[in-house]
Amino acid sequence: MNAFVIGCGRWGTFIGWYLNKIGYKVTIYGRPSSKNLEELKRSRKNEYLTLPNDVELTSDLANIEMSDIVIVSVDTQSFRNVANTIKEMAKGKTIALCMKGIEISTGMRLSSIAKEILKDSKIAVWLGPGHVESFVKGIPNCMVIDSEDEDCKKRLVKEFSSPLIRFYYGTDLIGNEIGAASKNVIGIAGGMLDGLNLTSLKGALMARGTREISRLIVKMGGKEISAYGLCHLGDYEATLFSPFSHNRMFGEKFIKKEKYDSLAEGYYTVEPLVKMQDKYGVELPICSAVYDILYRNEDPSKALEKLFLRNVVKEF
């Protein structure tokens, strides 16, 4: 079994490491200018793991043709360009998307972009909680594979499952993708609470954040219960509390006015989410508060106060 991983950052490199561990012949791709790829070629290591010698490293996308499964792990806003680049090479192959985000310019989910461009490929998403730092220590977790193609979904769950990752069959592509993308925004909100020394409010944030996103999922045609599954609520521990969470750390550093250079996908996801309020006629007060703080320079304490002064409503 051959797998081609596009992306050699933290998650892409882990995926290559993991698939090699469960028996795949793996090739990891990075751009010719990628410093991550350069370091992996030099030492076989990054700050998280050491790649086995039989994992191949390449800057040539043409090597896709030797694999029947392609795993994509790039930043969300770059995905459309990647999809257009590989669309001929990827014909007839299974494409698993391992990112959590929404395209800013269109508001599209990643599987929708893939379906539009990679028309002759089978499209799946690989989502759910877990940090590389924990996985490489042998700490297991549960994740989800979802796809409109049932055979594709069943194949990937069967082939990718191991004692380290237990995969579940997803049953709601809309809900799982929106849930996975939006949990990063809730993660930033959690980090902001940490920065304000209001960590005790995270329980309320989890409860109301899940309710908020469940309403959006329903309006988009998904299932309400998906917000309470592994791709959203089930990922909160890893996103709102973990020291490894980029989104949580970004939110905390932002409040403290400290520099943070790692990618926090929630920063980009919040913009299309806020636009969805008008499109789908749904209120997203937590997402709006995060957006106002990040993009409109609203004082975080005032944004929090506005949330508390909203009209009193029934919890459910």
Give pLDDT tens digits for 206-252: 999 999 999 999 999 999 999 999 999 999 999 999 999 999 999 99
Report the CATH number of the 173-308 domain.
1.10.1040.10
Encode pLDDT of 13-24 as tens digits: 999 999 999 999
Out of 11-15, 60-64, 311-315, which region has the weakest mean confidence (pLDDT)?
311-315
Would you place residue 307 in the very low, low, confident or very high pLDDT band (cuts 50, 70, 90)? Answer: confident
| Domain ranges (residues) in the chain | 2-169, 173-308
- pLDDT the model gives residue 310: 73
pLDDT in tens, 152-168: 999 999 999 999 999 99
Overall pTM > 0.75: yes
pLDDT grade, residue 312 (50/70/90)? low
pLDDT tens for each residue of 168-215: 999 999 999 999 999 999 999 999 999 999 999 999 999 999 999 999
Eight-state DSSP code of residue 58? E
Amino acid at 58: T
Q: Which helix (H) or strand (E) holds 41?
A: helix 35-43
Does the pLDDT value for residue 273 go beyond 90?
yes
- Annotated active-site residue 183? The verdict is yes
- Percent of the residues in the chain that have a pLDDT greater than 70, as a whole number: 99
Q: Report the topology of domain 2-169.
A: Rossmann fold (3.40.50)
Catalytic residue, chosen from 122, 183, 202, 253, is 183
Q: At a CB cut-off of 8 Å and minimum separation 6, what does 283 contact?
A: 212, 215, 277
138/78 Cα distance (integer angstroms): 31
- Confidence label for 308 from pLDDT (cuts 50, 70 and 90): confident
Confidence bin at 34 (pLDDT 50/70/90) = very high
The string over 183-192, giving b where at least 16 C-beta atoms fall within 10 Å of a residue's C-beta and e elsewhere, is bbbbbbbbbb
